[in-house]
């Protein structure tokens, strides 16, 4: 039933590239977010928790049994690797089936080769979501197309469609927005295929209904998970956190001045935009609302007229990404194979540019999202490809072999180089490893203090520290971050975090840094804030310096009375 | 071959002719070789000419007109870099477009797929070559450039004062003007009018200045580094700043300078000292006396207070700084209402100051805005020059 040769080809291609990445690449998460999500799942605050925030809780539930069986393995990471492997293999299989063994082999190898580094070595939930959803959409279109034209292979087509639906759901779990981003491409593809699908209207509608129910159902389920009272503040804080931490599309200077004029300190605003905001009194979600309201007034409104030029400039940069080359090659194939569907080339280009323009407007155009857009455009080109005059077997094998060997050399020489998930620039992972901080010393120092001691870290140091922990395929031991928190990041107000410092007698992270059992790492600048809001006189002392990771102790100057108590 | 080369030559003709005809030695304008939209239009023109059975003449005419418009846009882009006017040059694109059409007469058209492939290859070639030779792009996108060039920015005018306006209003870039106008032989009153900006409507500004008619010695506008009351209160009283032998920064504020001359220095504000942390710095910059009120107090009351200070029978000379409060924002979320109330209050405060100055003709008054209106609807803020404030020297 399954085309064994095609399956064999695609599996060997994908195993080869996965092998290259595993052997020559540096295994790591592309984003720290993944590290902490997998940590929450494996229980770094004590217990396994499926509230992953950006990734659907259902993904967590699916992996929980595995965590219980083999707690040492980081199944979250294995799941992400598997998602890329499965997706690329299926895409390869469909390419080979559509174009025949020879052309198919070359294009499938090309696709995997161009995706491998960006997707295996900088693995990241947003990219996994785009990859899964794109291939899911491909399966659905391919399956329905088969159903419409080839009624004899009904069962097989149904299986392919079902696989597509599963992948699509999985994609939507990994990141909802990345799945939504692909919807316009999916819709466009159905427009291109109206003629082929006109005989199977009912099946198409049925499939849409199933997708709709499954995808939105699981999304609603996930949102519902956060309706628990203990998640209330956490969820309430997410909007302001994202706006203050990541938002760049407003006039910060004007906001600063307005706040100062209102009698709030502009310095507080600077702290907030610098990801130092875990103070549940001065920076409680409702207090922050005053600040976000001012920000609302100063959002940049871009002039539509300057869009085309901006988008062209962004396109200039896109060209440097490997996935763009894949898109271009597939588009050429559309022309060369005389598919008469070359309108797709322009449709998909315009759609990508439109979405790039939209993201530019939000100032949120980052490489991992941009590649996602090109990936949708590329993968959804596959259903339009077709079999045509075959090349000789020798050429096909030589080409495939050539691509494989070139990649082998590139990976062997520069396997440590990856494209940064934000900027897309080639960076060496090795550079990041050049970090002279003495993490082992810091860890030993932390362990030497009693269990009631807690450490609050500046966000950057917190993220750097996370890079020095276990490799991604090993799970963090339970409770390993139980005493270490950040003033920033997205973990503030997360119930597990709150619970673990509350049981150590802390009720407000920034305010309580003066308590005896609290140490602060890499943040010596809180005195001004503490004196402005809570205490008369605060001092800060350097306790230890671990090659740049500095441990500080804040304390009240004697006789200083807490203003709160007055 | 002819089918590919001729359209390329025709497009290059339309693209390069205006560039070359305006070329000057030493100019530095990056310009593509082929105009993408011109090439696309030419290919479509051929297609219509050879393969469309209906409305052929009309479509061809439409395409030709569009072609001409695009070529003009490109010409304008080039000229705008050089600051030249189009003038007679408008005939260059006309000539090139017509020659392009004539040139393409013997060429057979591509089908739509051919056009599509042609453009796609050229586009991809452009983007990849651009990575290697950024100084000579293959393609030019005149429409995008034209749109971006002519896009209007609502904030441009308020951020960039015209030279005429600056000259007419005695503009100075200096952030602190007080030190140039204080008089060490008599009493000085430095008034900081809350949210007094320079309206972009110049008749309103003239009206504001007219309030002080009769006592104006000098007036002008000056620049602020930040639009905050706190900044204005401090930086304007700066007398001098320097670095000592150890490179440490030090500064002298005017209240200290006047205190050394035997002046009584006072700061007044119609409100609590905790507002904007004044209690922290007013004393630091050298005021020996400060007058606060427990609740918000209107400017008329504070003016009476200054009046009584100046009327004190003792022979001590005074250096008084006062920040007004009636025009404090936020006023309203409604633009029209904000505008109405703001001017009502502003003219009120200015009148109070003018009256006070008339009452004490022997006292030097220096009146200035602390910043343009902020903390109000953006639409209202846009009616004022950003970061510029007026100053008026009285008596």
Residues linked to residue B76 through DSSP beta bridges, in sequence order: none
The distance of Cα B368 from the centroid of its chain, to the nearest Å, equals 21
CA distance B144 to B37: 10
DSSP 3-state assignment of B23? coil
Of A254, A261, A306, the CB nearest to B147: A306
Distance of residue B113 Cα from the nearest chain A Cα, in angstroms: 7
DSSP 3-state assignment of B24? coil
* pLDDT tops 60 at residue A222: yes
Q: Does B296 touch chain A (CB under 8 A)?
A: no
Report the residue of chain A nearest B145, measured CA to CA: A309
Rounded average pLDDT over A132-161? 89
Tens digits of per-residue pLDDT, A119-140? 999 899 999 999 999 999 999 9
Q: Identify the DSSP state of B237.
A: T
Tens digits of per-residue pLDDT, B12-59? 999 999 999 889 888 888 999 999 999 999 999 999 999 999 999 999
Rounded average pLDDT over A221-242? 93
Task: Tell me how many helices (H) and strands (E) chain B has.
Answer: 16, 12
CA distance B285 to B269: 15
Q: At what angle do helices A367-379 and A322-336 cross, to 10 degrees?
A: 20
Tens digits of per-residue pLDDT, A390-431? 788 899 899 999 999 999 998 888 877 888 888 888 887 655
Structure-derived torsion over alpha carbons of residues B277, B279, B285, B291, reported in degrees to the nearest 10: 120
Percent of chain A with pLDDT over 90: 72
Q: Does A398 touch chain B (CB under 8 A)?
A: no
pLDDT at A389: 72
CA distance A429 to A263: 45
Tokens of B251: 């500064």
Distance of residue B133 Cα from the nearest chain A Cα, in angstroms: 12
CA distance B339 to A258: 18
Distance of residue B127 Cα from the nearest chain A Cα, in angstroms: 6
Rounded average pLDDT over B129-148? 94
Q: Does A254 touch chain B (CB under 8 A)?
A: yes
* Chain A neighbors of B225, CB-CB under 8 A: none
Here the ipTM equals 0.91
pLDDT band at A470 (very low <50, low <70, confident <90, very high): confident
Please compute Rg for chain A using Cα positions.
26
Tens digits of per-residue pLDDT, B227-248? 889 889 988 888 888 888 888 8
Residue of A249, A131, A221, A148 lying closest to A190 (CA atoms): A148
* Chain B neighbors of A257, CB-CB under 8 A: 226-228, 371, 374
pLDDT at A428: 78
- In order, the DSSP letters of A367-401 are HHHHHHHHHHHHHTTGGG----SPPPHHHHHHHHH
Alpha helices in A437-494 (DSSP H): 439-448, 459-467
* pLDDT tops 60 at residue A565: no
For residue A531, give Cα distances in angstroms to A390, A510, A511, A565.
Answer: 77, 12, 10, 14
* Chain B neighbors of A328, CB-CB under 8 A: 124
* Chain B neighbors of A258, CB-CB under 8 A: 374-375
Distance of residue A131 Cα from the nearest chain B Cα, in angstroms: 24
Percent of chain B with pLDDT over 70: 100
Q: Does A528 touch chain B (CB under 8 A)?
A: no
Of A53-67, B133-147, B283-297, where does mean pLDDT reach its minimum?
Answer: B283-297
Q: Does B124 touch chain A (CB under 8 A)?
A: yes
- Asked if A335 and B113 come within 8 Å (Cβ–Cβ), the reply is yes
* Chain B neighbors of A296, CB-CB under 8 A: none
The secondary element (H helix, E strand) that includes residue B164 is helix B163-168
Do B198 and B221 touch, CB atoms closer than 8 A?
Answer: yes
pLDDT band at A240 (very low <50, low <70, confident <90, very high): very high
The secondary element (H helix, E strand) that includes residue B310 is helix B299-310
- Asked if A257 and B227 come within 8 Å (Cβ–Cβ), the reply is yes
* Chain A neighbors of B276, CB-CB under 8 A: 260-261, 263
A 287-326: CB under 8 A from B: 297-298, 303, 305-310, 312, 315-316, 319-320
* pLDDT tops 90 at residue B372: yes
Answer positive or negative: Cα dihedral of A98, A102, A105, A111. negative
pLDDT band at A1 (very low <50, low <70, confident <90, very high): low
Q: Does A350 touch chain B (CB under 8 A)?
A: no
Tens digits of per-residue pLDDT, B258-284? 999 999 999 999 999 888 888 888 988
- Range A345-351, long-range pairs (CB < 8 A, 24+ positions): A345/B116, A345/B120, A346/B116, A347/A188, A347/A192, A348/A185, A348/A188, A348/A377, A348/A380, A348/A381, A349/A377, A351/A184, A351/A185, A351/A188, A351/A377
* Chain B neighbors of A263, CB-CB under 8 A: 275-276
pLDDT at A341: 87
DSSP 3-state assignment of B52? coil
* Chain A neighbors of B227, CB-CB under 8 A: 254, 257
- Asked if B130 and A340 come within 8 Å (Cβ–Cβ), the reply is no
Rounded average pLDDT over A44-59? 94
Looking at the whole model, is its pTM more than 0.95? Answer: no
The C-alpha angle B8, B9, B11, rounded to 5 degrees, equals 65
Q: Does B332 touch chain A (CB under 8 A)?
A: no
A 454-513: CB under 8 A from B: none
Interior/surface letters B358-390, b for 16+ CB within 10 angstroms, e for the rest: eebeebbbbbbbbbbbbbbbeebbebbbbbbbb
Task: Tell me how many helices (H) and strands (E) chain A has.
Answer: 24, 7
* pLDDT tops 90 at residue B370: yes
* pLDDT tops 80 at residue A233: yes
Q: Does B127 touch chain A (CB under 8 A)?
A: yes
Alpha helices in A285-426 (DSSP H): 285-297, 307-318, 322-336, 343-361, 367-379, 393-414
Q: Does B325 touch chain A (CB under 8 A)?
A: no
**Count of C-beta atoms within a 10 Å radius of residue A70:** 12
The pair phi, psi for residue B172, each rounded to 5°, is -130, 140
Q: Which residue has the tokens 């006292």?
A: B363
pLDDT at B12: 96
Selected for mutation to probe chain A from B74, B138, B228, B273 (highest A CB count within 10 Å) is B228
Of B113, B116, B147, the CB nearest to A309: B147
Q: Does B143 touch chain A (CB under 8 A)?
A: yes
CA distance A376 to A134: 5
- Asked if A316 and B127 come within 8 Å (Cβ–Cβ), the reply is yes
pLDDT at A432: 59
Report the residue of chain B nearest A261, measured CA to CA: B228
- Asked if B148 and A309 come within 8 Å (Cβ–Cβ), the reply is yes
pLDDT band at A566 (very low <50, low <70, confident <90, very high): very low
Q: Does B135 touch chain A (CB under 8 A)?
A: no
- In order, the DSSP letters of A114-135 are HHHIIIIITB-HHHHHHHHHHH
The secondary element (H helix, E strand) that includes residue B379 is helix B378-381
The C-alpha angle A36, A39, A41, rounded to 5 degrees, equals 115
pLDDT at A69: 95
Of A257, A263, A309, the CB nearest to B145: A309
Q: Does B130 touch chain A (CB under 8 A)?
A: yes
pLDDT band at B394 (very low <50, low <70, confident <90, very high): very high
pLDDT at A248: 85
pLDDT at B279: 86
Contacts of B323 (CB under 8 A, 6+ apart): B192, B194, B229, B233, B268, B269, B370
The C-alpha angle A514, A562, A559, rounded to 5 degrees, equals 85
Residue of B27, B155, B129 lying closest to B83 (CA atoms): B27
pLDDT at A430: 59
Report the residue of chain B nearest A335, measured CA to CA: B117
């Amino acid at each position: 039933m399954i085309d064994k040769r095609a399956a064999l080809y695609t599996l060997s291609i994908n195993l080869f590239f996965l092998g290259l990445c595993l052997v020559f690449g540096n295994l790591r998460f592309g984003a720290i977010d993944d590290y902490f999500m997998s940590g929450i799942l494996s229980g770094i605050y004590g217990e396994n928790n499926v509230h992953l925030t950006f990734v659907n809780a259902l993904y967590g539930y699916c992996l929980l049994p595995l965590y219980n069986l083999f707690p040492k393995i980081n199944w979250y990471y294995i799941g992400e690797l598997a998602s890329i492997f499965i997706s690329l293999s299926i895409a390869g299989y469909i390419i080979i089936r559509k174009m025949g063994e020879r052309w198919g082999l070359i294009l499938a190898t090309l696709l995997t080769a161009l995706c491998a580094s960006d997707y295996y070595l900088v693995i990241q939930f947003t990219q996994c979501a785009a990859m899964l959803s794109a291939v899911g959409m491909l399966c659905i279109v391919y399956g329905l197309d088969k159903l419409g034209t080839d009624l004899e292979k009904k069962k097989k087509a149904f299986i392919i469609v079902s696989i597509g639906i599963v992948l699509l759901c999985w994609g939507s779990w990994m990141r909802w927005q990345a799945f939504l981003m692909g919807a316009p491409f999916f819709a466009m593809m159905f427009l291109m295929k109206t003629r082929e699908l006109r005989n199977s209207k009912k099946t198409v509608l049925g499939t849409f209904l199933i997708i709709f129910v499954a995808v939105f159902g699981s999304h609603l389920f996930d949102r519902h998970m956060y309706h628990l009272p203990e998640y209330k503040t956490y969820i309430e804080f997410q909007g302001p956190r994202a706006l203050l931490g990541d938002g760049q599309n407003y006039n910060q200077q004007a906001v600063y001045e307005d706040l100062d004029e209102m009698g709030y300190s502009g310095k507080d605003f600077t702290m907030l935009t610098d990801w130092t905001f875990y103070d549940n009194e001065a920076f409680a979600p409702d207090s922050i609302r005053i600040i976000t309201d001012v920000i609302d007034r100063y959002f940049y409104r871009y002039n539509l007229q300057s869009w085309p030029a901006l988008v062209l400039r962004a396109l200039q940069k896109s060209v440097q990404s490997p996935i763009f080359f894949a898109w271009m090659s597939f588009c050429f194939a559309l022309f060369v194979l005389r598919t008469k569907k070359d309108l797709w080339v322009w449709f998909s280009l315009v759609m990508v540019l439109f979405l790039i323009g939209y993201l530019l407007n939000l100032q949120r155009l980052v490489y991992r999202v941009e590649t996602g857009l090109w990936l949708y455009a590329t993968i959804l080109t596959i259903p339009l490809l077709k079999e045509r005059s075959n090349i000789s077997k020798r050429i096909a094998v030589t080409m495939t072999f050539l691509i494989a060997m070139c990649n082998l050399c590139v990976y062997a020489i520069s396997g440590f180089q990856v494209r940064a998930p934000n900027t897309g620039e080639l960076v060496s992972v090795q550079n990041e490893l050049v970090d002279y901080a003495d993490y082992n010393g810091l860890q030993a120092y932390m362990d030497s203090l009693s269990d009631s001691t807690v450490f609050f870290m500046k966000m950057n140091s917190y993220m750097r520290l996370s890079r020095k922990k276990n490799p991604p395929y090993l799970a963090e031991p339970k409770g390993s971050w139980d005493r270490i928190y950040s003033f920033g990041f997205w973990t503030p107000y997360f119930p597990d975090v709150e619970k673990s410092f509350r049981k150590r007698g802390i009720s407000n992270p920034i305010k309580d840094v003066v308590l005896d059992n609290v140490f602060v790492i890499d943040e010596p600048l809180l005195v001004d804030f503490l004196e402005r809001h809570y205490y008369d006189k605060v001092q800060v002392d350097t306790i230890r310096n671990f090659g740049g990771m500095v441990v500080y102790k804040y304390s009240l100057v004697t006789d200083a009375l807490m203003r709160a108590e007055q | 071959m002819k089918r590919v080369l001729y359209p390329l030559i025709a497009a290059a003709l339309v693209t390069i002719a205006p560039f070359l005809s305006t070329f000057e030695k030493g100019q530095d304008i990056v310009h593509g070789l082929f105009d993408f939209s011109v090439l696309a239009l030419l290919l479509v023109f051929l297609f219509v000419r050879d393969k469309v059975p209906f409305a052929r003449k009309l479509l061809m005419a439409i395409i030709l007109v569009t072609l001409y418009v695009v070529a003009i846009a490109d010409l304008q882009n080039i000229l705008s870099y050089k600051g030249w006017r189009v003038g007679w040059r408008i005939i260059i694109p006309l000539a090139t477009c017509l020659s392009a059409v004539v040139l393409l007469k013997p060429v057979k058209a591509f089908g739509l797929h051919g056009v599509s492939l042609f453009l796609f290859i050229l586009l991809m070639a452009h983007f990849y070559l651009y990575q290697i030779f950024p100084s000579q792009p293959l393609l030019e996108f005149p429409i995008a450039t034209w749109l971006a060039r002519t896009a209007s920015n609502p904030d441009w005018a308020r951020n960039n004062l015209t030279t005429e306006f600056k000259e007419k209003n005695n503009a100075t870039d200096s952030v602190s003007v007080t030190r140039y106008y204080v008089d060490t032989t008599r009493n000085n009153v430095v008034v900081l009018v809350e949210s007094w900006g320079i309206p972009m409507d110049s008749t309103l500004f003239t009206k504001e200045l007219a309030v002080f008619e009769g006592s104006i010695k000098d007036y002008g506008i000056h620049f602020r580094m930040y639009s905050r009351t706190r900044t204005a209160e401090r930086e304007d009283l700066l007398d001098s700043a320097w670095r000592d032998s150890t490179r440490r920064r030090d500064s002298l504020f005017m209240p200290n300078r006047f205190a050394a001359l035997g002046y009584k220095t006072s700061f007044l504000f119609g409100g609590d000292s905790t507002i904007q942390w004044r209690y922290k710095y007013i004393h630091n910059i050298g005021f020996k006396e400060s007058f606060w009120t427990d609740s918000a107090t209107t400017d008329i009351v504070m003016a009476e207070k200054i009046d009584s200070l100046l009327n004190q029978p003792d022979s001590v000379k005074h250096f008084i700084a006062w920040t007004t409060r009636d025009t404090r924002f936020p006023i309203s979320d409604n633009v029209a209402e904000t505008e109405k109330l703001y001017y009502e209050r502003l003219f009120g405060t200015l009148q109070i100051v003018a009256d006070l100055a008339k009452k004490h003709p022997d006292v030097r008054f220096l009146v200035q805005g602390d910043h343009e209106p902020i903390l109000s609807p953006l639409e209202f803020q846009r009616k004022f020059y950003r970061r510029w404030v007026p100053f008026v020297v009285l008596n």
